[in-house]
């Protein structure tokens, strides 16, 4: 049975230039490194410093380089499949972003390339879960994960991106994740073979921002992953050739509370369709499949509402997704979370969070699940030791791991994040 799951590009995993004033669903799991204010401050923003002025010099010319690493150590304390051993995995990223206006006097353009290397064992080997306890879980990979060009047009009311793209950085992403490490909390997981980490795919997006409070976007991607082609390791050949399957997705959203002293929020609705041919659990085949999702992000409280760049706040998100249980293992996906940045006095950059992700398994004959659902409850505390260094203590309780009749699991993870 093919697991129709997706993976996510984790926190601090790449460098990305965004336009906050008109932003649609921008990749919260791929933030740009902190802006360098001076040569002295640059020494403190990155572990390797300012490279004797080279980093600042490149940024002045529109070239930003992000080198980031994430390492997870996990142990299952109870239930699941294995409580005897631990697993370790890591992800290394090298992201290069080029602002075409600063470098070439070409306004509104960004070129981006992301190299990734990941290795280690999977948390699933311990917990036996379906949803993945860590967003960096993947089989070993070394690849160019993303390679795209983005152009803003019409006074930043239209955004076009073409190339090899992570679709979940553009569609179906909760913006208030801020520290969760679970592999499906705040992301789309039930669309069939969504082109996302570790398998982004060739495609293009177009987003329109006619007014500040509304956006709408459409994406078309290579759908070859459904045929077993690992698109993360490949270029555009299967987009233009066989297999000819495509993944299409669209999303529209509204925003509110955008003033400096407001509490920003967003409500988004999306629909996706895959053109491939799928085997039904009960036998036979089905041509194409469609599903939908909805997301809500909301800031509940801000410590300094009059300060636009102060991130100390309590934020929440909710999401729901549906897919066809005749051909997909997951029918319903419901999740939500609450985070508080700066909860402890004097620790303004630390984050504490609590969230839950529930999936219901298909009950069609042939789906072969012993349980009706899997529920993951996650809590964490992320300590920002330095601008370039963070440690997260994470605990997850998994009810009905994998729907396989296993005893409930209790997984602990220690995550280290470094910006080089």
Q: Classify residue 250: in a domain, yes or no.
A: yes
- What are residue 34's DSSP bridge partners? none
Has residue 5 been placed in a domain? no
In a domain, 305, yes or no: yes
Domain annotation covers residue 306 = yes
Q: According to the model, what pLDDT value does residue 315 have? A: 97
pLDDT band at 261 (very low <50, low <70, confident <90, very high): confident
Q: Identify whether 279 is part of a domain.
A: yes
Does residue 38 have a pLDDT over 90? no
Asked, for residue 222, whether it belongs to a domain, the answer is yes
Total-model pTM: 0.88
Instruction: Note whether residue 283 is domain-resident.
Output: yes
**Average pLDDT of span 307-318:** 90
Give CA separation, 138 vs 167, 295, 314, in Å.
17, 26, 31
Domain count, the chain: 1
CATH code, 113: 2.40.160.180
Say if CB 200 and CB 8 are below 8 A apart. Answer: no
Task: Tell me which residue has tokens 């697993």.
Answer: 87
* Separation of alpha carbons 114 and 116, rounded Å: 6
Residue 9: exposed, middle, or buried by beta-carbon count in 10 A (0-12, 13-18, 19+)? buried
The 10s digit of each residue's pLDDT in 107-147 is: 999 999 999 999 999 999 999 999 989 999 999 999 999 99
Average pLDDT over residues 65-77: 98
Tally of CA atoms within 13 A in the half-sphere of 256 that contains its CB: 8
Question: In the beta sheet, which residues pair with residue 269?
Answer: 252, 294
Confidence of residue 339 (pLDDT cuts 50, 70, 90): very high
Over residues 393-406, the pLDDT tens digits come to 999 999 999 999 99
Residue 5 has what pLDDT? 37
Tokens 């879960």 found at: 129
Quote the domain boundaries for residue 148.
20-419
Q: What is the pLDDT of residue 4?
A: 36
The separation between CA 317 and the C-alpha centre of its own chain, rounded to angstroms, equals 14
Residue 202 and residue 130: Cα distance in Å, rounded? Answer: 27
The predicted structure's pLDDT at residue 14: 38
Asked whether the beta carbons of 87 and 74 are under 8 A apart, the reply is: yes
Is residue 6 domain-resident? no
- What average pLDDT score do residues 2-8 get? 37
Residue 322's Cα: distance from chain center in Å? 19
The answer, yes or no, to whether residue 31 has pLDDT greater than 90, is: no
Cα angle, residue 197 at apex, residues 185 and 67 outer, rounded to 5°:
105
Whether 19 shows a pLDDT value over 80: the answer reads: no
* pLDDT at position 41 over 70: no
Residue 223 has pLDDT above 90, yes or no: yes
């Amino acid at each position: 049975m093919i697991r129709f799951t997706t993976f996510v590009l984790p926190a601090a995993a790449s460098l990305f230039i965004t336009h906050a004033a008109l932003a649609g669903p921008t990749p919260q799991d791929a933030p740009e490194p902190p802006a360098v204010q001076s040569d002295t401050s640059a020494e403190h923003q990155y572990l390797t410093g300012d490279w004797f002025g080279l980093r600042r010099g490149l940024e002045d010319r529109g070239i930003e380089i992000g080198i980031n690493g994430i390492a997870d150590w996990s142990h299952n304390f109870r239930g699941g499949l294995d409580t005897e051993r631990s697993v370790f995995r890591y992800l290394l990223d090298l992201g290069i972003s080029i602002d075409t206006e600063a470098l070439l006097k070409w306004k509104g353009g960004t070129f981006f390339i992301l190299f990734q290397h990941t290795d280690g064992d999977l948390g699933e080997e311990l917990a036996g879960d379906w949803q993945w306890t860590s967003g960096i879980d993947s089989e070993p990979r070394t690849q160019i994960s993303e390679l795209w060009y983005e152009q803003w047009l019409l006074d930043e009311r239209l955004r076009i991106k073409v190339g090899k793209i992570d679709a979940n950085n553009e569609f179906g992403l909760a913006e208030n994740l801020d520290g969760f490490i679970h592999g499906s909390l705040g992301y789309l997981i039930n669309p069939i073979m969504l082109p996302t980490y570790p398998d982004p795919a060739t495609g293009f997006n177009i987003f329109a921002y006619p007014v500040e409070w509304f956006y709408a976007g459409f994406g078309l991607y290579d759908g070859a992953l459904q045929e077993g082609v690992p698109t993360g390791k490949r270029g555009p050949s299967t987009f233009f050739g066989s297999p000819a399957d495509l993944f299409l997705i669209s999303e529209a959203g509204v925003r509110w509370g955008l003033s400096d002293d407001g509490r920003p929020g967003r409500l988004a609705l999306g629909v996706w369709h895959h053109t491939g041919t799928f085997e039904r659990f009960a036998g036979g085949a089905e041509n194409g499949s469609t599903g939908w999702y909805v997301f809500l992000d909301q800031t509940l409280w801000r410590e300094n509402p009059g300060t636009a760049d102060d991130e100390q706040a309590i934020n929440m998100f909710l999401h729901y997704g549906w897919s066809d249980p005749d051909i997909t293992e997951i029918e319903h996906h419901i999740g939500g979370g609450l985070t508080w940045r700066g909860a402890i006095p004097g620790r303004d950059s630390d984050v504490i969070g609590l969230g839950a992700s529930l999936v219901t398994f298909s009950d069609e004959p042939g789906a072969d699940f012993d349980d009706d659902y899997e529920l993951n409850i996650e809590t964490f505390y992320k300590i920002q030791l330095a601008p370039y260094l963070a440690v997260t203590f994470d605990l997850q309780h998994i009810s009905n791991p994998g729907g396989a009749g296993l005893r409930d699991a209790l997984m602990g993870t220690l995550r280290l994040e470094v910006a080089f």
